[in-house]
Amino acid sequence: MNNLFAFDDATCRHLAEKHGTPCFAYSGAAAEAQFTALRTALSSRVRLAYAVKANPHPGILARFASLGASFDCASIGELMRVDALLLPVGRTFFAGPGKRETELRKALAMGVRVQAEGFEDLARLDALTDRETAVNLRVHPAFEIDEGNRIIGGSGPSAFGVDEEDVPALLQRAADLRHVRIRGLHVFAASNQRDASKLSAIHGVVLELGKRLYDTHGLAFEQIDLGGGLGIPYALEQNPLDVKMIGQGLSNLLAAHPWFTGELILEPGRFLAGPCGVYLARVVRIKESRGTRFAILEGGINHLIRPLLTGEPFPVKVVGKGEGDLPYTLAGPLCTSLDRLGDVCLPELAAGDLLAFGSTGAYGLNEGMTHFLSHPVPPEVWVN
Ligand SMILES: Cc1ncc(COP(=O)(O)O)c(C=O)c1O
């Protein structure tokens, strides 16, 4: 059965009493288990780069670094956090559709591999460096994408990467650059995908794209970055991703594409960090309103915005109360009717009851609207 909660009830109660509520807690053991399960399923020609945006907590970064992870950053703030890990050169990547000059300078100083999202990235880097600099080119593919949810935005117009049809013109312009050389391909085309066969199909299409670029433009890639998008269950009935199948699919692709002799990169965020996190918040009051039973909690979309963005709630349990079938609308304390964490069935609730939201280790607090209404920012507890 899926384990949607990194901590049992006794540990949740202990953490809430010790650190106060609301709070986030992250399990080092759960983070490590998730990393190891995926790493073990992958061949040594697949690099695993943790997408820091999922959760930049120093405990998580240090644990993944100690397990050999590389890191995918998307801002100067993330670069600085990864810089503090003192990793060898080659283990950090920098993506993002709007990179500023200060960020590119920082990336160059750290020896980070930049995922260029357009000619501007290439030209700016070229002007900032005086030595040969390898970059990866992020391409926004033309193929239709089954994302699961629309975080990346399908195959229509996109702010990310170079549109596939514009690649030839970009390569022509890039030929005049003095120092910057395209040595890798980057495609990100999935989000929270739990179906291994769909993810493997996307990986296959990316390798085909790489082959076309190799055949038509002679681009011999050192790296092909397949992005993240590895999904996790947010409900008991959802199957976990079959990582062995993902690993096997990548090995098959490497065998089927002998023209490519470099390394593949996966950059998952949600898959690696999601399961290790639990968010703890108490019920402040119950309100019955015209047929709807609201449980108003200490925190809402200021701490967890994903249910509002995707319509999918985080799994929730009432600590010490077991299962229940009373319908509740979970509301936060903010002065907006958008502040909802889901419509769920729970045992009867009363003020003071402790709720635990599982799988909140990725896109949890760091995605929330923490400054809205100036509630104190909840502590994040690293449980080693
Ligand atoms: C460039 C890039 N890499 C990796 C990720 C991580 O995605 P996920 O958490 O779905 O694996 C994202 C997410 O938006 C991204 O934009």
The pLDDT tens digits for 346-370 are 999 999 999 999 999 999 999 999 9
Q: Is the CB of 78 under 6 A from ligand 1?
A: no
Asked if 258 and 287 sit in the same domain, the reply is: no
Question: CB of 109 within 8 A of CB of 89?
Answer: no
Provide φ and ψ at 264, rounded to 5°. -90, 150
The dihedral over CA atoms of 134, 119, 226, 154, expressed in degrees to the nearest 10, equals 180
Asked if 89 and 136 sit in the same domain, the reply is: yes
Find the range with the poorest average confidence among 145-149, 321-325, 327-331.
145-149
pLDDT given for residue 1 in this prediction? 54
Pick the last residue of a domain from 219, 250, 272.
272
Average pLDDT over residues 116-126: 97
Asked if 208 and 65 sit in the same domain, the reply is: yes
**How many domains are there within the chain?**
2
Q: Is the CB of 269 under 6 A from ligand 1?
A: yes
Name the average pLDDT for the chain: 95
Q: Is residue 152 scored above 60 in pLDDT?
A: no
Q: Is the CB of 190 under 6 A from ligand 1?
A: no
Burial of 37 (0-12, 13-18, 19+ CB in 10 A): middle
Q: Is residue 105 scored above 80 in pLDDT?
A: yes
Pocket test for ligand 1, best of 267, 306, 360 (most atoms within 8 A of CB): 267
Instruction: Band the pLDDT of 3: cuts 50, 70, 90.
Output: confident
Q: Is the CB of 54 under 6 A from ligand 1?
A: yes
Please give the sequence-ordered ranges of beta strands (E in DSSP) within 102-160, or none if there are none.
113-116, 133-140
CA of 108 to the centre of ligand 1 (A): 22
Residue whose tokens read 């047929």: 291
Asked if 101 and 242 sit in the same domain, the reply is: yes
Asked if 152 and 199 sit in the same domain, the reply is: yes
Q: Is the CB of 230 under 6 A from ligand 1?
A: yes
Please give the full DSSP string across 322-381, using - where no structure is assigned: ----EEEEEE-SSSSTT-EEEEEEES---TTPEEEEES-SSSSGGGS-TTGGGPPPPPEE
Q: Is the CB of 199 under 6 A from ligand 1?
A: no
Average pLDDT over residues 5-14: 98
Looking at the CA of residue 230, tell me the nearest atom of ligand 1.
Answer: 11
pLDDT tens-place string over residues 84-104 = 999 999 999 999 999 999 999
Average pLDDT over residues 13-30: 98
pLDDT tens-place string over residues 187-202 = 998 999 999 999 999 9
Tell whether 18 is covered by a domain: no
Asked if 59 and 208 sit in the same domain, the reply is: yes
Average pLDDT over residues 244-261: 98
Asked if 63 and 146 sit in the same domain, the reply is: yes
Beta carbons within 8 Å of 382's beta carbon, 6+ residues apart: 25, 26, 28, 57, 58, 59, 60
Q: Is residue 260 scored above 80 in pLDDT?
A: yes
CA of 45 to the centre of ligand 1 (A): 20
pLDDT given for residue 167 in this prediction? 96
Tell whether 188 is covered by a domain: yes
Pocket test for ligand 1, best of 270, 276, 363, 367 (most atoms within 8 A of CB): 270
Element (H, E) at 73: strand 70-73
Question: What is the span of the domain harbouring residue 253?
Answer: 28-272
pLDDT given for residue 153 in this prediction? 52
Return the structure tokens found at 67.
Answer: 């397990």
Return the structure tokens found at 335.
Answer: 């002065």
Asked if 262 and 282 sit in the same domain, the reply is: no
Give the rounded distance of the alpha carbon of 175 from its chain centre. 33
Q: Is the CB of 229 under 6 A from ligand 1?
A: yes
Pocket test for ligand 1, best of 145, 149, 191, 265 (most atoms within 8 A of CB): 191
Q: Is residue 156 scored above 90 in pLDDT?
A: no
Tell whether 10 is covered by a domain: no
Tell me how far apart the alpha carbons of residues 341 and 364 are, in angstroms, rounded to a whole number.
12
Active site residue 335: yes
CA separation, residue 368 to residues 231, 306, 350 (Å) = 20, 8, 26
